[in-house]
Structure 1
Amino acid sequence: MVIVLAIFAAVPLANFIATGTSRTLFLSRSNDADWFATMAEGPLQSGDIANLRELAVRYHQLYNTPVFVVDVDRRVIATSRSGVVVAEPDLKTALDSTLAGRLPTEPPALWPWRTGEMVVARPVVNNGRVLGAAVLRVPTEHARDDVQRGLLLLLGGLLISVGAVVIGIVRPVTRWVLRPLNDLDNATHQVTRGALDTRVSTDGRAPELRRLGDSFNSMALSLHQARQREREFVADASHQLRTPLTSARIHIEGLSRLSPTARFALSDIDRLGRIVQRLSRLAGSDRPGDAEGSEEPLDLAQAVKERLVGWKAVYAADDLELIIGEMVPGGVAPELEVDDILDVLLDNASKYGAPPVEVSVLRDGTEVVLAVRDHGLGLGSRDLKKVGERFWRSAHHREMPGTGLGLAIVRSEAARVGGRVVARPPIGGGLVIEVRVPLIDDYEL
């Protein structure tokens, strides 16, 4: 009976060794294939493949692994060795899946009696369009030797102490069963915190748990790609706006010497340019901390009062009441874009709220608080938690014009100086949006 139990225990362990070694090799070479796919994006579009071919040759010499790149029509563009036949069954299968944009299939277990190379292929993608594929033909001799040594050690352990294996298998199996669940739980928490590149390993696990892990990885990949597409959209939009803004500024700058109105237009063009820069930062395309400014603190109350001069006229033209509340002086970081923050908050209050709209600047401990309150319908508890998310809009306001980026930009600007945005329902109804930024202690009133 003990021998039978040992045999039954040895089968999954042997499969663990073979499949684990296979997946480890596959994942390690997948990273290299992803790198080649990234490097091949430019050459496939420009046609300049000399550097790509040199990289493939060097990689082949270093790792003894042939590599080649094909375009979407399966023509070999760059290769580390001649004689590549893409019609070979293993290559054809890999290219069919890769060029169709499907996820790679699980590699077969590397048993010692099997021969042949492992094919690792990754698509070359630009803006969601498949341009070709990078393919590695990975030798498996060393990996099969490792599997053979592992199987021999396993067999030797069973022959030396069958009883010890049976007794000692209870704890490892328990860990083996619970570890994937713990890993999946930890990975889920990482994704909820925004780490969308988190993945779970599926090496050597039960088929049900392996499928669960694969499903989680596919979900995380989809979320990561969606976030990446969102950032690319914002970055591309801001990039496309820069050229016409620069051209418009040049033309209006020439008119500004003749017309005071043109000078106001020039100021608005400059503000649009700053908005485009913040869109780039919001998309993650610009590094934080690049903004330049004076080292003197900014009096938030004074900056708000100056900006409110123009907004009082705007509100009066629309028969809306704008109340200037308490204005307590307080020094904040000079790079804080007060005008743009106040523009977003007052524009939202006039469109989505109801008069009167009250603006105040207060101190709260170590923070200076810019608060804008309206007397509209306000937001529910669920919606209050989502204020400041990119492209989010309340269900009551989705039919109204807007992009859903205004408060996201405000939150990004506040965070850039160590601040935060708080939305809360005030007593009496409506909505209060507070921009809380750190108080500079040595600011002199």
Structure 2
Amino acid sequence: MVVLLAIIATVPLANFIATSASRTLFLSRSNDADWFATMAEAPLQSGDIANLREMAVRYDDLYNTPVFIVDDNNKVVATSKSGVDTNEPDIAIALGSTLAGRLPAEPPALWPWQSGEMVVARPVANNGRILGAAVLRVPTDDNRLEVRRSLILLLIGLLISIGAIIAGIVRPISRWVINPVKDLDNATHQITRGALDTRVSTDGRAPELRRLGDSFNSMALSLHQARQREREFVADASHQLRTPLTSARIHIEGLSRLSPTARFALSDIDRLGRIVQRLSRLAGSDRPGADAEGNSEEPLDLAQAVKERLVGWKAVYAADDLELIIGDMVPGGVAPELEVDDILDVLLDNASKYGAPPVEVSVTRDGTEVVLSVRDHGLGLGSRDLKKVGERFWRSAHHREMPGTGLGLAIVRSEAARVGGRVVARPPIGGGLVIEVRVPLIDDYEL
């Protein structure tokens, strides 16, 4: 709309430029035609036109403008160039008006895409009697070129004006419209990262965007409430199940002394207990950084914490005749709330059950991350299964007959996410599987 209004305003200006150039040229040459009309009055009466022809030739040579004089019978009596045809449309119209004593017509505008001469005629009169007419055939090429230059400057000015309007009006309006969309995009990313308490502002927005923001906030609130109910359900279920499971275990322990079959029930009770414990753990670690808010403890040296936990695992692996290799242990500070023991227990337990020895544990640095790696030399996982590692209750098709809950790596992933970390599963060179827990390095940590 702004561009259309600018173009509409420019059209009259362009017409003014072309018309003004035409009028200026017409008035300038009209003065010369009046002079010739005055000079032709006596020769037309006396019939001596030699001097009149000579003046016309000199004028044509000087101004490159042909001149001719006609009598009252429309006959050419003197001309600067031969071959004048008074029947040409423009000349005939001009002579007809002039010899009839009428005012000259308005000259046409000098548009640059047109061509042609301008005909200027003035009557030769004596005491009110028309004796003839002086006619100038004025070239217009130079004037049209000047008009073209003026129109180009006008077009440039139009473009600059449109640019200024866009920068001064349209751009702020666009930002007013686009910024809420950017806020929605950022809020969506926050939601996908687990920050379900994220909301967008709807103040000062366009009505449509305000409704969109309200709908987004309602959706985020519903998700937050659903997740909160899920946590509460899992926490309540875990709490309610823990007591009867403990009681059942006590009773079955007593029966196990009398019946070997009871030992299998005891094993199932223990398995249920582990499932309840892990569900409770997941319910409290869904939101990244939830436990880290307001924490002011000193950073935790991940390598030192891993080495301390490996002391017990060496004995477990040795008892099962499995080889446990301790690789590089590079010191690196991480968030103190990271549950290193739980993470390492899951990774080493999975490696012993689903992988094959030797199992290698290392702690290294990679840029701004501290990496805890556990590698086994088993069959590993296919590319499709690698993408599902860490999903709740997911287990590879090769391992479904083996004991497990499918929650271990989900807990590891949640623990890493709580401190802004991530879990990466990949096939190493030489076969097997590597699980990497990558957590942010705390820069101000001192070795």
Q: TM-score range by the shorter chain?
A: 0.3 to 0.5
Larger radius of gyration: 2
**TM-score, structure 1 normalization:** 0.41
